[in-house]
Chains A and B, each alone.
Chain A
């Protein structure tokens, strides 16, 4: 196993938190009301904080002059290894919450395993993240229940979001070649083993929310291998704008 395998493995986790954090931060000042606006922005900051820890570690592992900023801002689209789910745009509040919920349940299961990694840095980042992500999952699960079991309109919108985003859930468990190598060296998590618990938890919440679980067996993937949806380019142009327009700029 080479450092490059671990670096690619970390991108598979940290790019999710970066891109989801970016999506949530787009809502800053645009939430449906003051309270949820602040809640979503808090989550964006939690995710960004976790991303920084991962990228700082990547910078250290890569052994060149790269910094966390280079990693966040100066890669090209194909080099980002986030799943398609997290790059999906903010269509409406129910959509944002559903995307969050689908990711949170996975995220918590992942970190709970990653905290036992033989890599001490990754284990420490995971341990610290668990508290934050437990709250994220609580927040998004509560909201799924409120929206699903709320008004006719909120139920309809939540169900639409569930039906639309469901096809992206299977990719969460996709193992790339690097993931497999890193897992075999007891540093990475075997995500396939999380699948059953994941769908069980998701089903429980959806049922409580009176939402129906989609029956489709067709799933879309690609992000973890660097093949993204049409939304990713726009997101990156926003994210990278300052560093591209003013190289090496500092605040």
Chain B
């Protein structure tokens, strides 16, 4: 069978309190089917408590050709990390 169904991206929240993470993609005719397919394909081993699906064409992605101008300028700016402060011992989880 030729699959003419559009592609969907699947996001799954594995536990309450955690964020939805990208799990993969699948084909489905519409949003409802995408949810059911995602349930069957990605959560059958007890991986999740919530699912989001979004049609792949609705995602705007950065162009890999632009990686230079987009990401490289950040590589040599260590001062953007808040690591130059002395923290009192009482402050935890920083």
Contacts and interface: CB of A to CB of B under 8 A. Distances in A.
Contacts of B29: 146
A249 interface: no
A63 interface: no
Interface string B13-35: 00000000000001111001100
Nearest to A32: B1
Interface string A24-51: 0000000011111011001000000000
Given A32-B1, A33-B1, A35-B37, A42 B44 contact: yes
Majority SS at the chain A contact face: helix
B89 interface: no
Interface in A137-185: 138-139, 142, 146
B26 A35 contact: yes
Nearest to A33: B3
Contact of A142 (B1, B33, B44): B33
Contact of A139 (B1, B28, B36): B36
A33 B27 contact: yes
B36 A39 contact: yes
Nearest to B44: A42
B61 to A, nearest CB: 23
B36 to A, nearest CB: 6
A2 to B, nearest CB: 40
Interface in A75-125: none
Contact of B27 (A35, A38, A39): A35
Contact of A39 (B3, B32, B40): B40
A142 B39 CA distance: 15
Interface bin, chain B: 10 to 19
Given A39-B40, A42-B40, A42-B44, A34 B26 contact: yes
A244 to B, nearest CB: 31
Contacts of B33: 142, 146
A146 B41 CA distance: 20
A38 B5 CA distance: 17
Contacts of A36: 37
Contacts of A142: 32-33, 36
A141 B39 CA distance: 16
Contacts of A35: 26-28, 37, 40-41
A38 B1 contact: no
B26 to A, nearest CB: 5
Contacts of A33: 1, 3, 5, 27
B33 to A, nearest CB: 7
Interface of B: 1, 3, 5, 26-29, 32-33, 36-37, 39-41, 44
30 contacts: A32-B1, A33-B1, A33-B3, A33-B5, A33-B27, A34-B26, A34-B27, A34-B41, A35-B26, A35-B27, A35-B28, A35-B37, A35-B40, A35-B41, A36-B37, A38-B40, A38-B41, A38-B44, A39-B36, A39-B37, A39-B40, A42-B40, A135-B39, A138-B36, A139-B36, A142-B32, A142-B33, A142-B36, A146-B29, A146-B33
* A-B CB proximity, top 7 nearest: A35-B37, A39-B40, A32-B1, A38-B40, A42-B40, A38-B41, A33-B3
